[in-house]
């Protein structure tokens, strides 16, 4: 990779510079709203649905939330990763590019780097876990990359990468642990805040703050270090976290704007390393989990950790169960008609089902509530894979998912009616 000592500083202006460098190569993905999902998030969960959770017996939160979904599943290669890949290659020298590039990834960064390398006309060597989704492997090969297989842990992946570098001389483009990647991923936050403001100016009722007067020239306050008062503002943005490149990029991009940033991750088999690390005050370097959110199976990188552990940049991280991920995924598929992978909906699951976060919105948002941006990070899965996930869930008879699903259906029916 480019020498870290020569990279741009991790601040908002650097994200803006990154956006200028890559915008010709990326889609300005749409931002969608959903009355059904906003109403569902603004409806208290039932006491029954909290049985068996840490919130059992508590009065369910009653926040007011209006969602703005940044649909990175419509991005090139079906995920946000293309942003970091193109920015990373744009920062390499001609000599470095001539050697080709190498990385390790479960799928989305693999496809992103393969496509970016093809665009630049250079070789791409991709190390993928043997358990990677077949469609992601096929897509990576389809972009012309040479694929090598490894075990599922970061240590196993990195060992194969070292061998590839020794054999080929290729330049490592890590999936998340580098400033160029972080700055590239953060560009989605610039688009999200701008697009949400545009939507609200066209239809003020989309904002929970629509009764307030718009700020000067209708623009979102970009420099106020407090929670800004523009009616078109995003009060919070939630993004998934695996290695942390996207979340740390968003936190960097939005630092000082008055928009809070939150992370969301799965809890299955210790996948919530970021949340646990923040609680312990130190980064957890290894994770071994088979959560259905396969894009989030990696530990937080060292550089992303320096950002997400900064309380002035990240407000908090919450974890959700496999059942909650599936329940959120069903709502996005059936109610929004948007095709997503499990990793993409952990942020929505957090807003719908995590009572700690919901109580926070209720307390700080008051009667008006919060406008919440949610990153739908990707859509690289298959109909067959989705069918199997739901079939296994139904066979297990998971009571909690059924209750959450029933609650969602009831609210959706009320909205439709």
Q: Which of 106, 132, 267, 343 is catalytic?
A: 106
Q: Which of 38, 70, 81, 248 is catalytic?
A: 81
**Whole-number Å distance between alpha carbons of 179 and 156:** 23
Q: In the annotation, is 106 catalytic?
A: yes
**Whole-number Å distance between alpha carbons of 358 and 199:** 24
- 3-state class (DSSP) for residue 371: strand
Q: How is residue 102 written in tokens?
A: 């190498």
Q: In the annotation, is 81 catalytic?
A: yes
Q: Identify each DSSP E strand in 267-376 by its residue range.
A: 316-320, 370-376
- 3-state class (DSSP) for residue 85: helix
Q: How is residue 149 written in tokens?
A: 């297989």
- For residue 239, is it left (φ>0), alpha (ψ between -120 and 50) or beta? beta
- Considering only CA atoms, which of 274, 224, 220 is closest in space to residue 245? 274
**Whole-number Å distance between alpha carbons of 3 and 341:** 34
**Whole-number Å distance between alpha carbons of 105 and 85:** 12
Q: How is residue 34 written in tokens?
A: 């959903």
Q: Identify each DSSP E strand in 121-259 by its residue range.
A: 124-129, 146-150, 171-172, 236-240
358 to each of 35, 236, 258, 364, how far by Cα in Å? 18, 12, 19, 10
Residues marked as catalytic: 81, 106
């Amino acid at each position: 990779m480019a020498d870290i000592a020569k990279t741009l500083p991790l601040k908002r202006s650097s994200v803006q510079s990154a956006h200028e460098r890559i915008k010709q190569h990326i889609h300005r993905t749409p931002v969608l709203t959903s009355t059904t999902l906003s109403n569902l998030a603004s409806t208290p969960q039932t006491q029954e649905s909290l049985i068996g959770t840490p919130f059992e017996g508590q009065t369910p939160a009653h926040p007011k939330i209006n969602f703005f979904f940044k649909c990175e599943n419509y991005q090139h290669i079906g995920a946000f990763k293309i942003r970091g890949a193109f920015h990373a290659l744009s920062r390499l020298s001609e000599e470095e590019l001539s050697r080709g590039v190498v990385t390790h990834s479960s799928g989305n960064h693999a496809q992103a780097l393969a496509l970016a390398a093809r665009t630049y006309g250079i070789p791409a060597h991709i190390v993928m876990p043997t358990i990677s989704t077949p469609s992601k492997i096929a897509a990576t090969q389809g972009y012309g990359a040479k694929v090598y297989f490894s075990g599922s842990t970061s240590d196993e992946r990195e060992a194969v990468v070292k061998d590839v570098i020794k054999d080929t001389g290729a330049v490592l483009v890590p999936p998340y642990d580098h400033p160029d990647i972080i700055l590239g991923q953060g560009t989605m936050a610039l688009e999200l805040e701008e697009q949400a403001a545009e939507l609200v100016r066209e239809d003020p009722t989309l904002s929970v703050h629509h009764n307030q007067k718009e700020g000067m020239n209708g623009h979102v306050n970009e420099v106020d270090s407090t929670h800004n008062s523009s009616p078109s503002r995003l009060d919070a943005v939630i993004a998934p976290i695996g290695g942390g490149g996207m979340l740390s990029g968003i936190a960097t991009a939005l630092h000082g704007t008055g928009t809070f940033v939150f992370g969301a991750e799965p809890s299955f088999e210790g996948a919530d390393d970021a949340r646990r690390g923040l609680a312990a005050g130190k980064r957890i370097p290894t994770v071994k989990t088979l959560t259905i959110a396969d894009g989030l199976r990696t530990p937080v990188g060292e550089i992303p950790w320096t950002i997400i552990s900064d309380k002035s940049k990240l407000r908090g991280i919450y974890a959700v169960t496999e059942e909650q991920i599936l329940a959120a995924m069903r709502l996005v598929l059936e109610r929004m008609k948007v095709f997503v992978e499990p990793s993409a909906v952990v942020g929505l699951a957090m807003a719908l089902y995590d009572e700690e976060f919901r109580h926070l919105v209720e307390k700080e948002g008051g009667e008006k509530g919060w406008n919440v941006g949610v990153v739908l990070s990707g859509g690289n899965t298959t109909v067959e894979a989705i069918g199997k996930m739901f079939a296994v869930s139904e066979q297990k008879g998971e009571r909690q998912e059924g209750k959450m699903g029933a609650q969602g259906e009831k609210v959706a029916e009320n909205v439709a009616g």
